[in-house]
Amino acid sequence: MTSIQAIVRLSALIVAIQMWGPSAFAATEEQCRALSMQDFSRVPDAPTRITASTVVPAQGAVPSYCRVEAYIAPQVGYEGHLPLDNWNGKFVFQGCGAMCGSFQGLSSCPAALAKGYACATTDMGHRAPSQDGKWAYQNPTAEIDVGHRATHVATVAGKAIAEVFYGAEIKRAYFQGCSTGGRQALVEANRYPLDYDGIIGGAPVLYSPMGPPLQLFWDVTANIGPDGKPILDPAKLPILAKAVMNACDATDGLKDGTIGDPRSCKFDPAALKCSAGQTSECLTDSEIGVVRKLYEGPRTSKGLLKRVGGQPFGTELSWAGFIGGRNSANYNWANENLRYLAFPLDPGPGYDVSQFDWDRDPQRLSYSHMTAANPDLELFAEKGGKLILFHGWADPAIPATVTIGYYEQLTRTMGGPKATKDFARLFLLPGLGHCRGGAGATYMDVLAELDAWVEGGRAPDQVMSYAVPDTGPNEAPKGYNGRNIQDFKPKFTRPLFPYPDQARFSGKGDPNDAKNFKRVSSDR
């Protein structure tokens, strides 16, 4: 903290204590309504104006809180939820998804509020549907905001607002996000290492030759034939998915409807080739060609495989959103991305994803403000920061191999496995889709694990995950108060171990109980 920041913070705290008293753990409704009258225009690097502060009554496990709406100059939107009672002294910032454009991160705030955290998020500097990119057209200021600045200045402003509201300094600050939120996480750790004590990043969109959104660009064009129509009928995906699961489900020692590590799977789509006269429950040669392209991932004209990795085995039922042709939502999203955001110079509305040059264009993404692939986290590690990364093995939007590649680069950069595990760990969840949902044990209380690591020095060496429908590591079941996940009747539980280790069924006992799994080292 600079001397100027310290003076501003101290002055704010003195004013707050004089007005409202010294309590660090509770605030009143009157304090909430008065907050909008406070002047935050001198917050260093983040001049802020609160536009509204209103009390939201308690509902279920979520306590009453002060809803703070604000903007940071010139146009970064902010919303914070500050619990009135039993504040735990900690601040958690929620990331967003796709291109942001709204306060999406608020969906994760109820679970945080139930545990006593102050919670906040940002719209990343623009208002638009999450898959619309026209706000960025020839607008480098907006691209800088969404690339890195908005998250940082909203963090600075959010901390200042919370400290004035409670009349006390924040004890710990955490960030958590997935997809674009995962990209925000890595940008914070690399560019603004002093913002957070702990960071959670899931399925990060790296914007580099290593990975997404390259997979998106490849997938939405792989199934378009010379006539402009889709080759592989999405109606055939269940046939393919069933064949893959039959071939790969038991590679982890247990047949449970999930694939433990798709890299261990050996499956050739030619096994489904139609025989003479066969028209159903099979794939044509051209359809097999599309399936292979999706599994293999992007290639240059010389056949060199890019470092994206292709679709993992076990994601087939989710391909419909990628192979629907030029009228599909993902095709349009790829166009929005490339027309207005991904390249250093925006090609504009006349550009189409089919024009993407696989020999030349992937490396151009590294010049974008969106890139988050820098594995140098030395300053974050030096100041004691902790990083938890996670990714689902059944993620069709961003292959888990991309995050593995980043983590391995991080390991080399930071001095090897031991030095890296001192501050950063990666967890891979079988059956987890893109950030949430899927057939696996998709929920783990990753914020609690991070807090225990930062506060108590207990590194997450074994984490429990739970099969609760429509959840994710950052997405708790609706109404969960952070105390007893068993109330939501998980179908089964699984242990998770830091990469490269994995859980393997012992062969004895109930396979639905995590205690009957053992830790094995990856042989890859």
Ranges of H-type helices in 59-213: 109-114, 140-144, 150-166, 180-191
Q: What's the first-to-final CA gap in the chain, in angstroms?
A: 43
Contact between residue 315 and residue 395 where contact means Cβ atoms under 8 Å apart? yes
Q: What is the mean pLDDT of the chain?
A: 92
Domain boundary among 131, 148, 170: 170
Quick check: is 86 in a domain? yes
Q: What is the pLDDT of residue 478?
A: 86
Percent residues over pLDDT 90 in the chain: 82
Q: What is the pLDDT of residue 318?
A: 95
Quick check: is 187 in a domain? no
Q: Which amino acid is at 312?
A: P
Asked if 347 and 407 sit in the same domain, the reply is no
Q: What is the pLDDT of residue 120?
A: 98
d(CA 201, CA 458): 19
Contact between residue 182 and residue 94 where contact means Cβ atoms under 8 Å apart? no
Contact between residue 166 and residue 10 where contact means Cβ atoms under 8 Å apart? no
Percent residues over pLDDT 70 in the chain: 94
Quick check: is 386 in a domain? yes
d(CA 43, CA 12): 10
Domain boundary among 147, 170, 193: 170
d(CA 85, CA 486): 26
Residue for token pair 């599994």: 295
| Domain span at 354 | 220-367
Quick check: is 314 in a domain? yes
SS3 443: strand
Q: Which are the contacts of 316, defined by CB distance < 8 A and separation ≥ 6? A: 237, 240, 241, 244
Quick check: is 374 in a domain? no
- Specify the DSSP class assigned to residue 59: B
pLDDT category of residue 523 using cuts at 50, 70 and 90: low
Asked if 296 and 436 sit in the same domain, the reply is no
Asked if 85 and 39 sit in the same domain, the reply is yes
Quick check: is 208 in a domain? no
Asked if 350 and 483 sit in the same domain, the reply is no
Asked if 321 and 248 sit in the same domain, the reply is yes
Report angle CA 76, 77, 80 to the nearest 5 degrees.
Answer: 130
pLDDT category of residue 302 using cuts at 50, 70 and 90: confident
Contact between residue 337 and residue 356 where contact means Cβ atoms under 8 Å apart? no
pLDDT category of residue 524 using cuts at 50, 70 and 90: low
Asked if 93 and 65 sit in the same domain, the reply is yes
Classify residue 188 as exposed, middle or buried by CB count within 10 Å of its CB (0-12, 13-18, 19+).
Answer: buried
| Residue 53, CA distances (Å) to 30, 65, 68 in order | 10, 10, 5
Asked if 147 and 19 sit in the same domain, the reply is yes
Residue 283 token pair: 């794939």
139-143, 207-211, 246-250: least confident range:
207-211
Kindly report, residue by residue over 382-440, the tens digit of the pLDDT: 999 999 999 999 999 999 999 999 999 999 999 999 999 999 999 999 999 999 999 99
Residue 75 half-sphere exposure toward CB, CA atoms < 13 A: 13
Asked if 361 and 405 sit in the same domain, the reply is no
Instruction: Name, of 355-364, 446-455, 476-485, the range with top average pLDDT.
Output: 446-455
Q: Which of 332, 348, 337 is nearest to 133 (CA)?
A: 337
| Residue 252, CA distances (Å) to 238, 264, 519 in order | 22, 8, 12
User: Residue 47 pLDDT > 50, yes or no?
Assistant: yes
Q: Which amino acid is at 288?
A: I
Kindly report, residue by residue over 169-194, the tens digit of the pLDDT: 999 999 999 999 999 999 999 999 99
d(CA 416, CA 413): 7
Quick check: is 176 in a domain? no
User: Residue 21 pLDDT > 80, yes or no?
Assistant: no
Higher pLDDT, 9 or 410: 410
Q: What is the pLDDT of residue 370?
A: 87
Q: What is the pLDDT of residue 12?
A: 45
Contact between residue 299 and residue 217 where contact means Cβ atoms under 8 Å apart? no
Residue for token pair 């938890």: 388
Please give the torsion angle defined by the CA atoms of residues 319, 321, 326 and 327, in that order, rounded to the nearest 10 degrees.
150
Asked if 359 and 388 sit in the same domain, the reply is no
Domain boundary among 140, 170, 200: 170
Count of domains for the chain: 3
Q: How many CB atoms lie within 10 A of CB 57?
A: 10
Quick check: is 199 in a domain? no
Distance, C-alpha 120 to centroid of its chain:
16
Q: Which of 193, 204, 167, 174 is nearest to 399 (CA)?
A: 204
Asked if 332 and 429 sit in the same domain, the reply is no
20-34: average pLDDT: 74
Asked if 247 and 314 sit in the same domain, the reply is yes
Q: How many CB atoms lie within 10 A of CB 244?
A: 25
Q: How many CB atoms lie within 10 A of CB 148?
A: 22
Asked if 338 and 411 sit in the same domain, the reply is no
| Residue 499, CA distances (Å) to 52, 416, 424, 514 in order | 44, 13, 10, 18
